[in-house]
Amino acid sequence: MGISSLNQLEKHLTLTQEERNWFSFPSTLPLLVSEHVMSLINKDDPEDPIRKQFIPTCFENMDDLGGLDPLEEEKHSETKRLIHRYANRAALLTTDRCFSYCRHCFRRRFTSNSSGPINEKELEEAASYLAEHKEIKEVLLTGGDMFTLSDEHISMMLKTLKEARADIIYRLCTRAIATYPERFTEKLFETLKLHNWGAPYYLMTQFNHPREITSETERIISSFLKLGIIPMNQAVLLKGVNDSVDVLEELSNKLLATRIKPYYLFQGDLVNGTEHLRVKIERGLEIEKELRKRLSGLAMPQYTIDLPEGGGKVILTHDYTNGHENGKWVFTSPYGGSREYPEKK
């Protein structure tokens, strides 16, 4: 399923030297590109933003950023599959597989590491942990990509989780709407419908470039909405892909028009092999500032960094407060000049 060897890849693309060289020392994350993703790539453009996200280059072997688990997820794992870093929410690693592997993947320690789909024992472990930890209100079903699991497997998983804790908000996290839209069949939605009771699900998508949103996206999002499942997007800020105000403005507006709320825009994590895709925070903040002027509040994602060593997420934004004196706050207006706001007495 998909393109996974040099031979197959060369049938589709004329490779650059950097891309070809990756195959001499392939990095920890394998090559896998779906036919759908391949169809989105403009073959004549070596700088194509979709190509940069999925076709590896030898640059992946040239940095030593921060190991493979910069967020110390392993240290925060309570069962083999459950990461419990924040008191009120947790993340369940449902499988290590994806339909296409993103070269910026921050979970390289786990993605495609052959741990495979979650088995019944691991699921039971996670479910009993959730049953005992009532402080957990939300769980991210992530990986990998949960929709690489079969309908039967998803059904078994949702049944077990709902029976353990129907009051938890489960987030269905997936990149597959962008990489493998044919996965979203009637039968899959029937399966989800069967387990659509208790607290609502939320859908967490990953679209990084406006060209990833197609007519298929609209069809899939409508089906989720028919089940009352609200879609939110988590994008990653990536050099040469979307480190541009125009591209991110178009992405956000296109997401909104497709009924997806832009939620996060992530600063790249310090994962080995991703340095060439990272954007300077200083540049990210500039982009954020300009975006805030151009986008509506609804269209604006939160530019966010996930701190190293499991420090948690921090929102990055230009600081509009400009001190606080003589009982007054001074603010910089995003549209120019400054304004005073008297503190409450």
Residues that bind ligand PLP (CB under 6 A): 83, 85-86, 89, 91, 140, 313
Contact 69, 109 (CB under 8 A): yes
CA-CA distance, 231 to 216, in Å (whole number)? 15
Nearer to ligand PLP, 259 or 313 (CB): 313
The rounded Cα 151 to chain-centroid distance in angstroms is 22
Task: Identify residue 227 by its one-letter amino acid code.
Answer: L
- Alpha-carbon dihedral 109, 113, 117, 123, rounded to 10 degrees: -40
According to DSSP, residue 3 is labeled: B
Is 105 an active-site residue? Answer: yes
Of the listed 263, 289, 313, 320, which one is catalytic?
313
The CA distances from residue 242 to 50, 251, 267, in Å, are 10, 9, 12
Using CB distances below 5 to 8 A depending on partner kind, what does residue 85 bind out of ligand PLP, ligand SF4, none? ligand PLP
Task: Identify residue 228 by its one-letter amino acid code.
Answer: G
In our burial notation (b when 16+ CB lie closer than 10 A, e otherwise), range 13-24 reads bebeeebebbee
Nearest-approach distance from CB 243 to ligand PLP, in angstroms: 22
Nearest-approach distance from CB 269 to ligand SF4, in angstroms: 10
What the block records as the tokens of 249 is 């403005």
Residues with Cβ < 8 Å from 322, sequence gap 6 or more? 330, 331, 332, 338
Of the listed 102, 108, 129, 175, which one is catalytic?
102
Nearer to ligand SF4, 53 or 165 (CB): 53
Nearer to ligand PLP, 61 or 113 (CB): 113
Contact 55, 13 (CB under 8 A): yes
Give me the residues paired with residue 86 across strands: 89
Q: Which residues sit at the interface with ligand SF4, rule CB under 6 A? A: 98, 101-102, 105, 107, 111, 143-145, 175
Of the listed 86, 259, 261, 320, which one is catalytic?
86
Nearest-approach distance from CB 337 to ligand PLP, in angstroms: 33
Report phi then psi at 266, rounded to 5: -85, 135
Q: Is the N-terminal amide bond of 337 cis, ω within 30° of 0?
A: no
Looking up tokens 């996974």, which residue turns up?
4
Q: In 3D, which of 291, 262, 240, 306 has the Cα closest to residue 103?
A: 240
Of the listed 101, 264, 269, 303, which one is catalytic?
269
Nearest-approach distance from CB 110 to ligand SF4, in angstroms: 8
Contact 274, 268 (CB under 8 A): yes
Using CB distances below 5 to 8 A depending on partner kind, what does residue 313 bind out of ligand PLP, ligand SF4, none? ligand PLP
Using CB distances below 5 to 8 A depending on partner kind, what does residue 105 bind out of ligand PLP, ligand SF4, none? ligand SF4
Nearest-approach distance from CB 103 to ligand SF4, in angstroms: 8
Nearer to ligand PLP, 34 or 234 (CB): 234
Using CB distances below 5 to 8 A depending on partner kind, what does residue 289 bind out of ligand SF4, ligand PLP, none? none
Of the listed 81, 85, 97, 103, which one is catalytic?
85
Using CB distances below 5 to 8 A depending on partner kind, what does residue 117 bind out of ligand PLP, ligand SF4, none? none
Using CB distances below 5 to 8 A depending on partner kind, what does residue 144 bind out of ligand SF4, ligand PLP, none? ligand SF4
Nearer to ligand PLP, 89 or 292 (CB): 89
Is 269 an active-site residue? Answer: yes
Nearer to ligand SF4, 97 or 165 (CB): 97
Nearest-approach distance from CB 147 to ligand SF4, in angstroms: 10
SS3 state of residue 139: strand
Catalytic residue IDs: 85-86, 89, 98, 102, 105, 107, 269, 306, 313
